[in-house]
Structure 1
Amino acid sequence: MDVVIIGAGVVGAACAYYASRSGLSVTVVDRGPVAGGTTGAGEGNLLVSDKEAGPELDLALLSARLWQDLSAELPRPVEYEPKGGLVVAPDETTLKALRHFAEGQRAAGVVATEVATLHDLEPHLAPGLAGGFHYPQDAQVQPALAAAHLLKASGATLRLGEEVTGLLLEKGTVRGVRTSRRTLRAPAVVNASGTWAGRIAEFAGTTLPVLPRRGFVLVTEPLPRLIRHKVYAADYIADVASDSASLQSSAVVEGTPAGPVLIGATRERVGFDRTLSTDALRRLAAQAAALFPVLADVRALRTYHGFRPYLPDHLPAIGPDTRAPGLLHACGHEGAGIGLAPATGRLIAASLTNAEPPLDPAPFRPDRFGP
């Protein structure tokens, strides 16, 4: 065995897929089922529209291309839907800020087109909005399917329902993992354990300040395809970049091929508290109805929530941890893990095989965080 990957979410699955394609023998271990954590609670967003020019956007653009390739490569469909995104501004001041934001994105390779007549793209949008930007590179996958099919195509050995209880250390070097059932020896271990990544780092005597950031999603009754794109108000971008621990919400509204409309997303740092927040759900419903008045009388059938793995500088940790040789990290993507998974997998595979990385890995160095 060449590498053990801790975590059977979409990031761990992408690492397994690209490591296997690089010729490595891979085992994936998870204390639960495939996509049992953050991945299974996600909407499947593949976004470039919400990222300012910089390292994360570079990662997102590479991933956007890789998701297109994967939708054709994988033998089973992941419900890849290149629906595009529409970011709307309620007033001229916000629209001016969006123009400035889009200018920086275009310089990095994003396709962003200003739209004055929003109802040509989304006929059911509320009247009176100042304008917005269309992002055709935004897309969608079904996250649990994506993780499952990446793992299946990787050929990796799966050890599900096995909690990692420690790392094997030999003279300060990581040489495998201990689980609740067995010992797995390998010259490399990849920490793709999402919100629990900090605990895995501690097993190696190092530090990774990953915190859970809770988010809720509303699911409506099945409807005709009223909403064509992934639509959200410009304040969502500020929420994504915020360091606040308090409740923040900005509706992201999208239709699905099956009929229900998905309405996200809230953010708050409350540890692993799974208590249902009626305040968060009310906010989401009101904001969605403000964007699309047609939703005001639609029934919400259910809600679900999960915990995004948050790092303080809003960049994931990807690559080897120089403080613990043999340990690599692929975590801390917060709400963008599904979108950023393929590029993360490519970076991890390049590091494992000493190959040329597909982009500069330096901004994602895990050892950028002090003790």
Structure 2
Amino acid sequence: MIGGGIIGAATAMELASEGVSVALCEKGEIGCEQSSRNWGWVRLSQRDPREIPLMIDAIKRWEGIDQRLGRKTGFVQSGLLFTARNARRMAAYEAFAERLKEHQIDCRMVVGREMDDVIPGHAMKLAGGLLTPFDGRAEPQLAAPAIAEGARDEGAKLFTRCAVRSVETSAGRVSGVVTERGRIASSSVVLAGGAWSRLFVGNAGVALPQLKVLNSVLRTTPIANGPEQGIWADGFSLRKRADGGYTVSGGSENLHHITPDSFRLARQFLPALRAEWSSMRLRLGGRWREEAALPRHWAGNERSPLEQNRMLDPAPDDRSLQRALASARAAFPVMADCEVVQSWAGMIDVTPDAIPVISEVEKLPGLFISTGYSGHGFGISLGAGRLTADLVTGATPIVDPAPFRLSRFFDGSPITLDSGF
């Protein structure tokens, strides 16, 4: 396993539980990048239809994860509410609700005074919203380490501050990896490297269309009588934390720092940029210089750029956070006096169609990729870990893996985005 985020940890746990010998190598610390920096949502609502079966499986696994691990992840099946200010948004939610009913998932449209019962004390002018009680929340700072420890309990070996430099092959397939501490023989390698995945597999001659998007988050002091459900609204998102405070972020505002890869992948990402133009801001600055300076090819006996960058720790976009907090306070007057305890940012690994790659690499048998979760990886992680393990062991997959194949980007398949979020 390459990568100690929540996807890598979940995959390692599932493989080890099947008796597979697993070594998980992480260049920094467990869950130190986006896995601990996300909103903490575990949501089915507003998913791309291709992700729905996998997300249903994931939530069922979240429901029993603390018991399985004997540790706390903070998971609470609190429900999520997506609010709508106009009839157009309501129509989109109604269409999504029909999709969920096909899967026998409890959800309902909320309108009129009913909204006051669902989120008492709000001050928003709304047409209504979509409530999904099946959805929930967990604590990102707890979950990835707890799952990694669960993998270790099953027999996996965890190696932190141990970057994998390269993949070795023999007779046309994977035979091991070279780490900064030495070689590990293996017939299968799973790359769950998050935002670093494109750089790593590019060194192995594998093309992976993936860019980075920055999302900023803050947390507040505890608030009495705030909403229990996760809330998405125009301008902000909210998630209650285990300590009684709230995680707050922009509802859909993200920042892409223009880098050389932005131009290399421009054609493949153009449909996504058109679809998300209203919520995506572009910036040209120091990130260009940093990524342009990274070597794109290196040998196993050379120090890799992964060792030079143990942790992506970008500065948050304070202006976007100020806007989000102001919107949240206007929507929920009980937040008027809360204080900001901490703010941070993380780099989201995105693909052209905003769904992940969970796939064996056809040109390099034995190499599996599980990345590109496009900001949705935390919640789907437990299902994704199981699916990835199924592909590695050859077991019957829990869901059809075809939508997540890497080859979709190169075989002429239409690349489409289909999400209401």
Determine if the TM-score, normalized by the shorter chain, exceeds 0.5.
yes
Q: TM-score, normalising length from structure 2? A: 0.79
Structure 2 Cα separation of the partners of residues 255 and 14 of structure 1: 24
Deviation digits for residues 225-248 of structure 1, max 9, x if unmatched?
412110112x5xxxxxxxxxxxxx
| TM-align CA RMSD | 1.8
Mapping for residues 218-367 of structure 1, pairs under 5 Å: 218-233=218-233, 250-265=235-250, 266-270=253-257, 273=287, 274-367=314-407
For the pair 1:47 / 2:43, whether they are aligned, the reply is yes
Deviation at 1:89, TM superposition (A): 1.2
- Residue of structure 2 equivalent to 1:368: 408
CA offsets, 1:20-42, max 9 Å, x none? 11110100001100001110112
Structure 1: segments with no counterpart, 5+ residues: 236-249
> For 2:256, what is the secondary structure of its paired residue?
coil
Partners of 2:141 and 2:316 in 1: CA distance: 23
**Partners of 2:122 and 2:333 within 8 A in 1:** yes
Write the distance in 2 (CA, Å) between the matches of 1:127 and 1:311.
34
Q: What do the CA deviations read for 1:214-261 (whole angstroms, capped 9, x no partner)? A: 00112112222412110112x5xxxxxxxxxxxxxx411122230211
The one-character-per-residue Cα deviations of 1:56-101 (angstroms, maximum 9, x if unpaired) are 1221111111111223211112111111111111233332332223
Where in structure 2 are the equivalents of 1:117-196 lying within 5 Å?
117-155=114-152, 156-196=156-196
- Aligned partners of 1:305, 1:275: CA distance in 2, in Å? 6
Contact 1:196 / 1:210 at 8 angstroms: preserved in 2? no
Contact 1:213-1:271 at 8 Å conserved across structures: no
Offset, 1:127: 4.4
Q: Give me the whole-angstrom Cα distance separating, in 2, the residues matched to 1:67 and 1:224.
A: 27
What's the CA shift string for 1:143-163, capped at 9, x where partnerless? 232222222222211111012
How high is the sequence identity, in percent, across the aligned residues? Answer: 29
Match of 1:199 in 2: 199
Aligned length: 351
Assess if the C-alpha contact under 8 Å between 1:212 and 1:271 holds in 2: no
Please say which of residues 56-65 and 97-106 is displaced more in the overlay: 97-106
Whether 2:216 is the aligned partner of 1:216: answer: yes
Instruction: Measure, in 1, the Cα distance between the counterparts of 2:135 and 2:209.
Output: 29
Cα distance in structure 2, aligned partners of 1:276 and 1:154:
32
Which residue in the other structure is 1:75 paired with? Answer: 70
CA contact (8 A) 1:48 1:110 kept: no
Q: Residues 207 and 370 of structure 1 are in contact (CA less than 8 Å); yes or no, is this contact kept in structure 2? A: no
SS in 1 for 2:175: strand
State the distance in 2 between where 1:341 and 1:202 align.
Answer: 24
Q: Which moved more, 1:135-144 or 1:288-297?
A: 288-297
Work out whether residues 173 and 326 of structure 1, in 8 Å CA contact, stay in contact via their aligned partners in 2: yes
Q: 1:294 to 1:224 in 2, by over 3 A?
A: closer
Q: Tell me the secondary structure at the aligned position of residue 397 of structure 2.
A: coil
3-state SS, counterpart of residue 39 of structure 1: helix
Residue-by-residue CA offset, 1:271-319 (whole Å, 9 max, x unaligned): 6943442321222123323432332443222211101110111110102
Q: Partners of 1:299 and 1:148 in 2: how far apart?
A: 28
Change (3 A) 1:105 1:173: same
Given candidates 5, 18, 24, the residue that maps to 1:28 is 24
Instruction: Give unmatched runs, 5+ long, in structure 2.
Output: 260-286, 288-313, 412-421
Q: State the partner residue of 2:302.
A: none
Distance in 2 (CA, whole Å) between partners of 1:110 and 1:51 is 13
Offset from partner CA, 1:316-348 (integer Å, 9 cap, x none): 010211121110011111211111111111111
The answer to whether the Cα contact below 8 Å between 1:205 and 1:324 also exists between their aligned partners in 2 is no
The amino acid across from 1:299 in the alignment is E
CA contact (8 A) 1:10 1:144 kept: no
Give the conservation status (yes or no) of the 8 Å contact 1:84–1:137.
Answer: yes
Residues in 1 aligned to 2:351 and 2:385: alpha-carbon distance in whole angstroms: 19
8 Å Cα contact 2:3/2:24 also seen in 1 = yes
Give SS of 2:386's match. Answer: helix
- Distance (Å, rounded) in 2 between the aligned partners of 1:205 and 1:31: 21
Task: State the SS of the aligned residue for 1:6.
Answer: coil
Q: Which amino acid aligns with 1:298?
A: C
Residue 284 of structure 2 corresponds to none
- Judge conservation of contact 1:309–1:334 (CA < 8 Å) in 2: yes
- Per the TM alignment, residue 14 of structure 1 is displaced from its structure 2 partner at its CA by 0.5
Secondary structure class of the residue paired with 2:66: helix
Which residue is 1:98 aligned to?
Answer: 93
- State the distance in 1 between where 2:43 and 2:52 align: 9
The separation in 2 between residues aligned to 1:29 and 1:323, in whole angstroms, is: 23
